[in-house]
């Protein structure tokens, strides 16, 4: 199976199925996809995505991001979901931070952002699980702007709920560093929507080493989210049950529909 489909103008689009679980099963290929911004997809790209049979698109972006770069219309059979929970944008994009940040400062800010993600993204993660459990279901595309941070955290929660070992979850998160050159995409951003959203432009004002820290997928980042959850809730499963509303019965239901023996 193909992990990263060949698409002309995709940003970090990939299948995050195929991973083995702790109980010896496997996440089905062709059920779960993750991506960055999809505004720039070409006509052939959109046809290729349509051919995947996608039923649900979970858009983790804020309203301002969606307004600037709306998703393509993938057809009447595709339900596009989003959640306006009032959460503000990242402080990393503020001009004062961009001009002053060095690599250690930028990395520290990224870690702080990931520490806050379990709370900041709770509504959206709950919506993602509800779409899988109550319809419209899979195949599903989960995406944000770069397909790295919000998508990375949400995908990590889903894979963990399915029983994928943490080291494999982190490997999937780190695959962003192979799947896309985010720095190149950032420089290509323009009025056509090719590249990352214009809201990311303040990152261009950063020193190169700070910019690299912001754009990288770093195991320390997603590790900070896991550590935050475990400090606050004791385990990811407790977080899923107590905050997201996904209990053991719901995880079994997910396993029946997404895992194969």
The enclosing domain of 139 has a CATH number of 3.90.190.10
Q: What's the length of the chain?
A: 261
CA dist 19 and 25 (Å) reads: 9
Rounded to an integer, the average pLDDT of 213-226 is 97
Tens digits of per-residue pLDDT, 4-43? 999 999 999 999 999 999 999 999 999 999 999 999 999 9
Whether 146 is in a domain gets the answer: yes
Q: Would you place residue 191 in the very low, low, confident or very high pLDDT band (cuts 50, 70, 90)?
A: low
Tokens of 257: 């529909």
Q: What is the CA radius of gyration of the chain?
A: 17
Of the ranges 61-65, 69-73, 120-124, 186-190, which one carries the lowest mean pLDDT score? 186-190
Rounded Cα–Cα distance for residues 91 and 246 (Å): 30
Mean pLDDT value across residues 105-114: 94
Q: How many domains does the chain have?
A: 1
Q: What is the pLDDT of the chain when averaged over all its residues?
A: 92
- Which helix H or strand E contains 185, and what residues bound it? helix 182-187
pLDDT band at 194; cut points 50, 70, 90: low
Would you state the pLDDT for residue 199?
A: 65
Domain annotation covers residue 36: yes
Euclidean distance between CA atoms 16 and 28, whole angstroms: 9
Q: Name the residue with tokens 């990393």.
A: 92
3-state SS string over 22-52? CCCCEECCCCEEEECCCCCCCHHHHHHHHCC
Task: Kindly tell me if the per-residue pLDDT of 190 is higher than 70.
Answer: no
Element (H, E) at 140: strand 140-143
% of the chain residues with pLDDT over 70? 90
Is the pLDDT at 231 greater than 60? The verdict is yes
pLDDT value at position 94?
Answer: 60
Domain holding 205, by residue range, is 14-260
Provide DSSP, 87-121.
Answer: ----GGGSHHHHHH--HHHHHHHHHHHHHHHHHHT
Nearest partner of 142 among 20, 31, 19, judged by Cα: 31
The answer to the question of residue 189 being in a domain is yes
The answer to whether residue 105 scores a pLDDT higher than 80 is yes
Determine how many CB atoms are found less than 10 A away from the CB of residue 146: 25
145 burial level (CB within 10 Å; 0-12, 13-18, 19+):
buried
pLDDT of 192 strictly over 60: no
More confident residue, 75 or 192: 75
- Among 104, 116, 70, residue whose Cα is nearest residue 231: 116
- Average pLDDT score over residue span 201-225: 91
């Amino acid at each position: 199976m193909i992990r990263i489909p060949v698409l002309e103008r995709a940003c970090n689009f990939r299948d995050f199925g195929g991973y083995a679980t702790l109980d010896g099963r496997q996440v089905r290929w062709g059920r779960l996809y993750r991506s960055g911004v999809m505004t720039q997809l070409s006509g052939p790209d959109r046809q290729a995505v349509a051919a995947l049979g996608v039923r649900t698109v979970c858009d983790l972006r804020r309203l301002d991001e969606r307004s600037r770069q709306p998703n393509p219309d993938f057809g009447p059979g595709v339900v596009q979901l989003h959640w306006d929970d009032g959460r503000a944008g990242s402080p990393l994009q503020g001009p004062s931070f961009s001009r002053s940040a060095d690599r250690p400062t930028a990395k520290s800010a990224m870690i702080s952002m990931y520490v806050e993600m379990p709370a900041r993204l709770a509504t959206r993660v709950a919506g993602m699980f509800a779409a899988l459990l109550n319809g419209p279901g899979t195949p599903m595309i989960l995406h944000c702007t770069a397909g790295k941070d919000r998508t990375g955290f949400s995908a990590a929660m889903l894979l963990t709920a399915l029983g994928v070992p943490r080291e494999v979850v982190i490997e999937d998160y780190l695959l962003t560093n192979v799947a896309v050159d985010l720095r190149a995409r950032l420089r290509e951003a323009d009025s056509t929507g090719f590249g990352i959203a214009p809201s990311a432009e303040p990152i261009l004002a950063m020193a190169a080493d700070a910019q690299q820290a912001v754009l990288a997928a770093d195991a320390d980042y997603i590790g900070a989210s896991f550590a935050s959850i475990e400090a606050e809730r004791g385990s990811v499963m407790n977080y899923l049950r107590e905050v997201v509303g996904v209990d053991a019965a719901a995880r079994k239901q997910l396993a029946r529909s997404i895992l194969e023996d």
